[in-house]
Amino acid sequence: MPQWLEWSLILGGLVIIACLLVVISHQTKNLREARHKAEKAETFQKNRRDSMIESIRIIAMAVEADQVEYSEACLRIKGLLDHVAPELLDQAPYRIFFEVSEKLQHMPTHQARLDTEARFLAKMDKERFEIEKMHADAIRRAATAIRHHQFVA
């Protein structure tokens, strides 16, 4: 084999090795960035979940201290449980949050409530207060139970 061919093959091999090193370094960098993004997203989700659990407990304490209307507490706790532990909404005593929320589902909230006629609002408030009164004991028991519930990750 001529010497020039040997040197050409060696040089070609070195070029291929250099190209492979560049590809490997890019892949390693991309993998590192993907891991970092995944860890960051996981930390964000964990903090968000912890914040929701804390909100559930605060609302439950407000129910126990009669600092919040039971209907509002049920709507808020149900909404948070939908994200944190939806299976609890099928279990006693937490089922009451779902049941009351379903009974209040047709009532307007936020801007829709502001746009609703006062006479109609009075009628709906009366209905809401009756629902609260009918389920008050169950709501209080469920609030106490959810405040002491140990949420698993």
- Largest pairwise CA distance in the chain: 103
Q: Would you say residue 7 lies in a domain?
A: no
Q: What is the mean pLDDT of the chain?
A: 92
Q: How confident is the model at residue 125 (pLDDT cuts 50, 70, 90)?
A: confident
Q: How confident is the model at residue 41 (pLDDT cuts 50, 70, 90)?
A: very high
Higher-pLDDT residue of 152 and 18 is 18
Neighbours of 20 (CB within 10 A): 10
149: nearest Cα among 106, 85, 83, 63? 85
Q: Would you say residue 2 lies in a domain?
A: no
Report pTM: 0.77
Higher-pLDDT residue of 18 and 1 is 18
Domain count, the chain: 1
pLDDT score of 112 more than 70? no
Q: What is the 3-state secondary structure (H, E, C) of 46-103?
A: HHHHHHHHHHHHHHHHHHHCCCCCHHHHHHHHHHHHHHHCHHHHHCCCCHHHHHHHHH
Q: Would you say residue 82 lies in a domain?
A: yes
What pLDDT digit, counting tens, does each position of 50-59 carry? 999 999 999 9
Q: How confident is the model at residue 22 (pLDDT cuts 50, 70, 90)?
A: very high
The proportion of the chain whose per-residue pLDDT surpasses 90, expressed as a percent, equals: 79
> Which residue is listed with tokens 């006693």?
92
Q: How confident is the model at residue 143 (pLDDT cuts 50, 70, 90)?
A: very high
Q: How confident is the model at residue 118 (pLDDT cuts 50, 70, 90)?
A: confident
Geometric angle at alpha carbon 124, from 121 and 127, rounded to 5°: 155
Q: What is the DSSP letter of 100?
A: H
Higher-pLDDT residue of 121 and 73 is 73
Q: Would you say residue 6 lies in a domain?
A: no
- Residue type at position 76: R
Q: Would you say residue 52 lies in a domain?
A: yes
The parent domain of residue 62 ranges over: 12-148
Q: What local confidence, expressed as pLDDT, does residue 113 receive?
A: 66
Distance between CA 121 and CA 134 in Å, rounded? 20
pLDDT score of 92 more than 70? yes
Q: Would you say residue 4 lies in a domain?
A: no
